Amino acid sequence: MTTNRKVQYLAGICVSFAFSFTGAALSWPSPAIPKFKNGEAKINISDAQSSWVVSLAALGALPGCYLGKVLSERAGRRLTIYSAAVPGFLGASIILFTKSPELMYFARVLIGIANGITAVVTMIYLTEIADKEIRGALGMLVQVMNNLGSLAVYGIGPFVSYTVLNSMVLFLSVFYAVICLWVPESPYYHLSYGRLAAAKKEFMTIKGTKDEVWVDEQINVMRRHVQESMENKTTFAELVTNTKYRKAIYIISGLKVLQYMTGSLAIQAYLEIIFRQSSSISGPYASIVYGFVQLGAGIGATFLAGYFGRRVLMLTSSFGVAVSLTIVGLYFFLQDYMHVGPGTLSSISAMPLVGVLGFNILYAAGIGNLPYVMQAELFPLNVKTTASSAATMMACILNFFVTKSYQGIKDGFGHFTVFWSFASIAYAGILFIYFYVPETKGKSLEEVQDNMRIENEDAEALKKSEIS
């Protein structure tokens, strides 16, 4: 049966808009740090303190991930999505008014909590409401909205006052909460508590149909899978020790390392500084170009996800990211280590811009967002929130490590070391995706999880036969 997908698309757009605040908050240091340095912000802050301001948002996301898990299980996906606005609003408000680096640390932790809640619950919600034919494309909206928030900061931030920059971030925290007030709850959440009538009502709204016979058939299939899952509700300890979840854990852990250790958030935070040190184009204008390309790449990726499989997109993405980062690293190697002459540097001054823009496009096409989609696909309902929370916590730790160590590695070993380290992760990611990551495009959530269960059972049987 063909469903009316208007509600799915509209709800997907509204819920994904939460990531516009995430994108703005993560990109905020790019125009803010130059304002610290030139005195415009009127804040006495050192480079070391600035690196803490950049990185503490990632650390703050750790408790946010746990809160996102607890709230999405107890209060529902819908309430959790817009409750994330509360710490985001408080953090953005503090940054707007404070002149103290220490208070900025606290504010960035609050913003990180908001981002952590958003990261855990949004993709779960999107994969649960979307038809299998549009699940990948709808999931990619997260990247588009993240890029939209970044573009707003890159495009406006360098040319407005520090106060206006902070007010813009604050506005986004309120706006996304307001537009999410109408969205329907996930039927899976209602089914997990045995609320069949409520699940049926929300399912009919989401699918845009009044065909009760068809709806009853679909709800019964969903209910059976939910009941099977909820009979084995799993704690974090059981998640990591139970062999039937092991393959999914390996896959998602590997994808998270690839997603974050290639340096996307460090590049995003220090973008204007990178271009000020390398490109013939001014930092602010190069950042705007980056923001527009990032947004266009995200939009393009949503269409690509509808035509190509997850594996093809991620393999292409990882290869392109590796090559792009290698190019940027090569420029800094020639500039900082080989000390080539000004004439030679001038002739290759476009390399950092080309490399960073290439990274931007290829990252958005695959590894920037598809790991979020897959972490919501591979785990059954009984462990989905626990697994998504754990995966996002892992991402936060990796993000904190990358953003905090960026400045130190750059100062100690050179800018080229940073970019070639990121590139090496991307090259390894190509092999990881090829050998370990399954294809999930065109399969229902139930089909994906049944396939994972069968593969785990086959692996266990093979292991037992080898032992005997």
Question: d(Cα 98, Cα 119) in Å, to the nearest integer?
Answer: 27
* 53 within 8 A of 104, measured Cβ to Cβ: yes
Element (H, E) at 460: helix 445-467
Residue written as tokens 């406006």? 156
Q: What is the pLDDT of residues 190-238, one digit of tens each?
A: 998 889 999 999 999 999 888 889 999 989 988 887 877 666 666 677 7
Q: What is the pLDDT of residues 440-449, one digit of tens each?
A: 887 777 778 7
Quote the tokens at residue 316. Answer: 């292409």
Quote the tokens at residue 455. Answer: 């593969």
125 in a structural domain: yes
Q: What's residue 293's pLDDT?
A: 81
* 315 within 8 A of 434, measured Cβ to Cβ: yes
Question: d(Cα 58, Cα 341) in Å, to the nearest integer?
Answer: 39
Contacts of residue 240, defined as CB under 8 A and 6 or more positions apart, other chains included, come to 249, 390
The low-confidence residues of the chain, meaning pLDDT below 50, are none
Question: d(Cα 46, Cα 48) in Å, to the nearest integer?
Answer: 5
Residue written as tokens 């845009």? 208
209 in a structural domain: no
Question: d(Cα 18, Cα 24) in Å, to the nearest integer?
Answer: 10
Contacts of residue 181, defined as CB under 8 A and 6 or more positions apart, other chains included, come to 82
284 in a structural domain: yes
* 176 within 8 A of 21, measured Cβ to Cβ: yes
200 in a structural domain: no
151 in a structural domain: yes
DSSP string, 258-311: HHHHT-HHHHHHTHHHHHHHH-SS-HHHHHHHHHHHHHHHHHHHHHHHHHS-HH
Question: d(Cα 10, Cα 458) in Å, to the nearest integer?
Answer: 41
30 in a structural domain: yes
Q: What's residue 112's pLDDT?
A: 93
Q: Which amino acid is at 406?
A: Y
Question: d(Cα 388, Cα 376) in Å, to the nearest integer?
Answer: 7
The runs of H, that is alpha helices, within 17-100 are 18-27, 29-37, 47-74, 77-83, 85-97
Cβ atoms within 10 Å, residue 292: 16
Question: d(Cα 96, Cα 99) in Å, to the nearest integer?
Answer: 9
CATH of the domain at 361: 1.20.1250.20
Using CA atoms, how far residue 14 sits from 168, 246, 255, 326, 360, in Å, is 18, 34, 26, 37, 24
Q: What's residue 442's pLDDT?
A: 77
Per the structure, how many domains does the chain have?
1
* 171 within 8 A of 90, measured Cβ to Cβ: no
Question: d(Cα 278, Cα 272) in Å, to the nearest integer?
Answer: 10
Residue 232: phi and psi, rounded to 5, are: -120, 45
Question: d(Cα 172, Cα 210) in Å, to the nearest integer?
Answer: 36
Contacts of residue 28, defined as CB under 8 A and 6 or more positions apart, other chains included, come to 153, 157, 165, 169
Rounded to 10 degrees, the C-alpha dihedral 98/51/151/9 comes to -90
Measure CA of the first residue to CA of the last residue in the chain; give whole Å: 49
Question: d(Cα 105, Cα 125) in Å, to the nearest integer?
Answer: 31
| Backbone torsion region of residue 320, taken as left when φ is above 0, otherwise alpha when ψ lies between -120 and 50, otherwise beta | alpha
Quote the tokens at residue 163. Answer: 């106060």
190 in a structural domain: no
* 326 within 8 A of 423, measured Cβ to Cβ: yes
Q: What's residue 281's pLDDT?
A: 58
270 in a structural domain: yes
Cβ atoms within 10 Å, residue 131: 14
Domain that holds residue 377: 6-183+232-467
From 286, 293, 260, select the one nearest 271 (Cα to Cα).
Answer: 286
3-state secondary structure of 439: coil
User: What is the 8-class DSSP label of residue 4?
Assistant: -
User: What is the 8-class DSSP label of residue 157?
Assistant: G
Residue written as tokens 């803010």? 32
